[in-house]
Amino acid sequence: MSLSPDQKKFYENTLSVTKREINDLEGLIQEELAKVKDRLAELQNAQKAARQMYDAACMRLGIPNDLEEAEAQG
């Protein structure tokens, strides 16, 4: 069954609009991924700094670092 000229125009327009939408969404996805990666890096750096402080406090108090022990067991 062939398409009428109006149907063909409709589907061609649908292709164009949805392709543009897909490309726009891909761009938004990439932007959000970049934000998430940046935020994860910030959180990991903060965690690393806190662990260093925790380790130093354990050393100053002369007590074992229970976080290191938990990581060794896990």
Average pLDDT over residues 58-74: 87
The model's pLDDT over 36-65, given as tens digits with 9 standing for 90+, comes to 999 999 999 999 999 999 999 999 999 999
Q: Residue 35 and residue 59: Cα distance in Å, rounded? A: 36
Does the pLDDT of residue 71 top 90, yes or no? no
pLDDT in tens, 17-41: 999 999 999 999 999 999 999 999 9
CA dihedral sign, ordered 28, 31, 35, 36: positive
- Whether 21 contacts 13, CB under 8 Å: no
